[in-house]
């Protein structure tokens, strides 16, 4: 993707995620990526939804603070997987990923994605919750999937838009939210901050 000139940018994206970049490009948002450093550490007794919303808001605020001279909103987003009230984020290593996938196998889990937009005057956050059901997955399959390299940077150790699509028996809710950015809710936020869509970069 070619980054448009600064003068043509309507939004800052506080994320390195290629999936979020692709989703924003899909709906024609003119944006510039900006790198932010926000610790992804869940606080003691913090509810899963509150945690993911806090991270999204912190990323959006950090993005806007990094380039206030542009005077355009910044978008932050975060995604977690929740199974049996346990929060599954990115795996630490191979064994951790295999444990996650075996936990998700043959059952349903929730994918919670929060999106926040921030400018000089306001910061608003929305949250999308999607239910995903996996078929049975053997430990051998989980290990082969890890070797593909795909699970390493994914919440819950899987990417629904990639090879892990074969694990998904059903989905109730927003597919794009599971990928990393719920486009319906994101568009609602963009409208409130006067960020246009359907533009050509």
Distance of alpha carbon 106 from alpha carbon 167, whole angstroms: 9
From residue 51, alpha-carbon distances to 33, 40, 54, 62, 141 in Å are 23, 9, 5, 16, 31
User: What pLDDT is recorded for position 90?
Assistant: 93
Ordered structural domains, the chain, with CATH:
6-192 (3.90.950.10)
Residue 84 zone, left/alpha/beta (φ > 0; ψ -120 to 50; rest): left
From residue 97, alpha-carbon distances to 151, 157, 182 in Å are 7, 5, 24
Please write the tens of the pLDDT for every residue from 11-66. Answer: 999 998 999 999 999 999 999 999 999 998 899 889 999 999 999 999 999 999 99
Confidence tier at 199 by pLDDT (50, 70, 90)? confident
Please write the tens of the pLDDT for every residue from 101-130. Answer: 999 999 999 999 999 999 999 999 999 999
Which residue among 10, 37, 78, 119 is the active-site one? Answer: 78
Which are the contacts of 20, defined by CB distance < 8 A and separation ≥ 6? 13, 77, 180, 181
* Averaged pLDDT for residues 65-70: 94
Residue 93 annotated as catalytic: no
Distance of alpha carbon 41 from alpha carbon 148, whole angstroms: 27
Please write the tens of the pLDDT for every residue from 70-94. Answer: 999 999 999 999 999 899 999 999 9
Please write the tens of the pLDDT for every residue from 141-174. Answer: 999 999 999 999 999 999 999 999 999 999 999 9
Distance of alpha carbon 184 from alpha carbon 201, whole angstroms: 21
Res 200 pLDDT > 80? no
């Amino acid at each position: 993707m070619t980054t448009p000139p600064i003068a043509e940018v309507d939004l800052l994206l506080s994320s390195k995620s290629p999936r979020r970049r692709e989703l924003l490009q899909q709906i024609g948002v003119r944006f510039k990526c900006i790198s932010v450093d926000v610790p992804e550490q869940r606080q003691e007794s913090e509810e899963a939804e509150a945690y993911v919303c806090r991270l999204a808001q912190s990323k959006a605020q950090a993005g806007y603070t990094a380039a206030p001279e542009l005077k355009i909103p910044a978008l932050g987003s975060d995604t977690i997987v929740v199974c049996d009230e346990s929060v599954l984020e990115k795996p630490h290593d191979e064994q951790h990923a295999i444990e996650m996938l075996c936990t998700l196998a043959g059952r349903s889990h929730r994918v919670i994605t929060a999106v926040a937009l921030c400018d000089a005057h306001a910061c608003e956050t929305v949250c999308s919750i999607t239910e995903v059901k996996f078929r049975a997955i053997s430990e051998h399959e989980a290990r082969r999937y890890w070797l593909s390299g795909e699970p390493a940077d994914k919440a819950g150790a899987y990417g629904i838009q990639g090879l892990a699509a074969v694990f998904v028996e059903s989905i109730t809710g927003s597919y794009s939210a599971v990928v990393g950015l719920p486009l319906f809710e994101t568009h609602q936020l963009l409208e409130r901050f006067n960020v246009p869509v359907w533009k050509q970069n």
